A and B are shown apart, each in its own frame.
Chain A
Amino acid sequence: MDWEVVIGLEIHAQLATKSKIFSGSSTAYGAEPNTQANAVDLGLPGVLPVLNEEAVRMAAKFGLAIGATVAKHSVFARKNYFYPDLPKGYQISQYELPIVHDGKLEIVLDDGSGKTIGVTRAHLEEDAGKSLHEDFHGMTGIDLNRAGTPLLEIVSEPDMRSAQEAVAYMKKIHSLVRYLEICDGNMQEGSFRCDANVSIRPKGQEEFGTRTELKNINSFRFVERAINVEIERQIDVIEGGGQVVQETRLYDPDKNETRSMRTKEEANDYRYFPDPDLLPVVIDEHYLNEVRKTLPELPGEKQHRFEKHYGLSAIDAGVLTASRDMADYFEAVAKISNEPKLSANWIMGDLLGALNKNNLELAQSPVTADMLGGMIKRVADNTISGKIAKEVFEAMWQGEGDADTVIEKRGLKQITDTGAIEKIVDEIIANNPEQVEQYRSGKDKVFGFFVGQVMKASKGKANPQQVNQLLKDKLK
């Protein structure tokens, strides 16, 4: 049978506020356990939450960026369950009235086609603490530094039809929250996490199949793998005559499998109700307009500008605006070199290639935008050829300094002195009478042989245009 896959994602983006959502404690990552947990975070008797306005502003910013409704009136609710790293015995979240609802996002698939994914809602909530099971014999340690960190939970419509689409959507949200500077997007530190709801149905069937929720898929690679193994599992279950059970499943990246965490019957009844300690969040048009003014240029707008202003193709502009870091890097390189197209080629070619090979993020690149821009400038002003530039790039990557330093140290400056080149050309012609004969009798292909010989003799430093011109003149 032909199966259709239906996927919806719930993304938790940790908001980049300085303090927690309901207390004044710092949200900085990596502090000693429980050093960033005050009376409110500990849930001591008598304490009360006070909403961090910055978290509201960030949520509103996200809502505006995805063309969603930013609710004039939203309400915090308590989600009740017991767990040792949940100090109050309830999580303050939003339930019936979230701050953002009904938005949408365009994603671009690998084949270049586009698709719109609906964003059902995005709501504010507090994170729980961490239970540390490893370091304590027969005991569990509790670290409440993370408790109360603001999260924006972004819930999509079940609009995705493949793992690839899900990854494209997740990457798009990841890029967007970083553009908006509301989340650092750091997946290793858990600042950006994802759960996936997955189901399958026979192609053509309207009704959804029973879904499972996949937890703990915290990298783009794992999302794709987890969804794909879950799809296979569901197909196997159904084609084997069984039924998919509604449940929460945990993805194990080591074994590349999903396994049951809890079924619907075992699920908590969270007994949501409006939190009486917090007033409804009321947002007016004036406030929204103020937030709107702080919106940066968004990826779509930026892509359009790159096409128009730099004369880039849609695909190149798309790649270069995929993240704010990338776009900023490109613009810096283009500005220094004044060669936008050449800059785009270098970034998408050699730079991205080297980053991928070494598994590095752009921010970790040993070749900075200043360095790459400086190098391309030297290509543009004919100090070095494109070919030599590859050697310069490699040297910069290895930490030999900026382009000018490398060119100087390695003596890579291009030979543009016509007399010097002419001398080499004459020598090559004199030493290869046979090839000269062939060329003159009409074998044009031999021309390449002469160019190669000259370049070799000049150790690649002779200006190729001048070499071409001189050879043409002399071989006539």
Chain B
Amino acid sequence: MHNKTIAELAKSLASGEFSSEELTQHCLDRINRLGDQLNCFVTVTDDLALQQAREADQLRAQGKAHPLAGVPLVHKDIFCTNGVKTSCGSKMLDNFIAPYDATVVNNCKQANMVMLAKANMDEFAMGSSNETSFYGPVKNPWNLETVPGGSSGGSASAVAARLAPIATGTDTGGSIRQPAALCGITGLKPTYGRVSRYGMIAFASSLDQAGPMSRTAEDAALLLNVMAGFDTRDSTSVDQAVPDYTATLNDSLDGLKIGLPREYFGEGLDGNVAKVVDEAIKRYQSMGAELVDISLPNTKTAVSTYYVVAPAECSSNLSRFDGVRFGYRCKDPKDLEDLYKRTRGEGFGPEVKRRIMVGTYVLSAGYYDAYYLKAQKLRRLISDEFKQAFEQVDVIMGPTSPTVAFKIGERMDDPVAMYLSDAYTIATNLAGLPGISIPAGFANNLPVGLQIIGGYFQEGKLLNVAHQYQQQTDWHLQTPAGFE
């Protein structure tokens, strides 16, 4: 059962091959047996999952079910789940039971999908290796000594190890696509505003976007159908109809214009990764696509721009964690200042503190213009550059990450090296564009991701391009040893 895609699971559930309760129990058994070695979950919601599964089965019996009713999934622990601990990977929220559901969670509930667990993640989604979590590092099922990527590392690891058929993730600078690449799964970051952010604990509000993490592009399309949509509770969500993303999966790629930004294939890119990506692009050529050499010169400024904008927003977003109303509070505070200092000093980990400090600095009087304002201007240049590129091409392709999964601990003392693992994904967040990472092969026995970037609201096109590749290749069907 666990090797089926959610498209297949939905069919099996519909035909009565097995019930959601059986399927859910099977997933929970695998989680109990295999989950610990990966550390990919913060909370496993056994009882709730089985209860939801039985409800889905009843609805199916009554013929009133959504096609995905009874299909199990995992939510990244950044989404608030009513009555269930929502930690955001932080000691700060280790005791936080959310009193409401995030819109994404609610949308999945409306479809009667079954929540198996809350996935581990980098603390407050800050990290590219899932090593900053209060709950310890997540392991990559392809090699337990390597990282799964981050920040949605728990979601990626769980889907790659077949512990969950599908998961939700969030992506602020590559946090869906980079772990998808490093774990050999499919991960889509939609256009900013496509999926509601309500109830998704904010890291950098102008960059955060939720999306599906799945085995196949078709599965991603199915889950995006459920996740996406305008939400009156999120002013930045876009009031635009949600198409059926599965409807265009089989469109022909004949004549598709693929832009290859030369900046994505230069210095810093691992040679073996480059080879895999080149092969994948050749495959597209054989499918009738046309390759166009393009340039995105501001790619080089994207990481610096991002590390001004994101920390600035996070320094403000994380101010609410003050020990007053919820979450961690230090013991016996002497006075108000002591309460703030020790609560935040003890409750946040080092990477979160680093970013709060950077963000506070760039917004300070006297530095605002030099950093924050300048970063906003660069952000505009980056967006404009993409806009121009999409006048020439339909999609842009390149590697998702410059390297395959690295060793746990390898980059923890070198934040800049860590930040560069998102060099190819960050620009799309700054521009608000959608991007997808799909498995394209292996280098050094570890998965390599191909990134495909589209124009605004071109999720359908990205899924179509990804799906067609997956019809001709089987990289996405590979299963790590020990998790078959």
Contact = CB atoms under 8 A, between A and B. Distances in A.
Q: Do A and B come from one complex?
A: yes
B463 to A, nearest CB: 27
B78 to A, nearest CB: 8
B99 A39 contact: yes
A46 interface: yes
A87 interface: yes
Nearest first, the 9 A-B pairs at minimum CB distance are: A89-B319, A271-B363, A276-B206, A276-B205, A46-B199, A45-B201, A43-B320, A46-B80, A46-B201
Interface in A264-291: 269, 271-273, 276-279
Interface in B158-210: 197-202, 204-206
Given A39-B99, A82-B340, 4 more contacts: A44-B98, A46-B98, A87-B324, A278-B235
Interface string A28-40: 0000000000010
A271 B366 CA distance: 10
B233 A48 contact: yes
Interface string B353-380: 0000000100111001000100000000
Contacts of A271: 315-316, 360, 363-365, 368
Interface string B223-247: 0000000001111100000000000
Nearest to A89: B319
A51 B232 CA distance: 10
Interface string B317-337: 011111011110000000010
B235 A50 contact: yes
Contact of A84 (B98, B316, B336): B336
Interface string A188-200: 0000000000000
Interface of A: 39, 42-51, 78, 80, 82, 84, 87-90, 142, 269, 271-273, 276-279
A45 B233 contact: no
A87 B363 contact: no
Interface of B: 79-80, 86, 88, 93, 96, 98-100, 102, 197-202, 204-206, 232-236, 312-313, 315-316, 318-322, 324-327, 336, 340, 360, 363-365, 368, 372
B191 to A, nearest CB: 16
Contacts of B200: 46
Given A48-B234, A271-B360, A277-B236, A90 B316 contact: yes
Max chain A Cβ within 10 angstroms of own Cβ: one of B86, B198, B232, B319: B319
| Interface majority SS (helix, strand, loop, mixed), chain A | loop
Contacts of B235: 48-51, 277-279
Contacts, number: 101
Nearest to B232: A50
12 contacts: A44-B80, A45-B80, A45-B88, A46-B80, A46-B198, A46-B199, A50-B234, A269-B365, A271-B316, A271-B364, A273-B316, A277-B202
A123 to B, nearest CB: 18
Contacts of B322: 82, 84, 89
A71 to B, nearest CB: 18
Max chain B Cβ within 10 angstroms of own Cβ: one of A39, A46, A80, A279: A46
A78 B316 CA distance: 8
Contact of B372 (A78, A87, A273): A273
Contacts of A277: 202, 205, 235-236
Contacts of B312: 273
Contact of B325 (A43, A47, A269): A43
A273 to B, nearest CB: 6
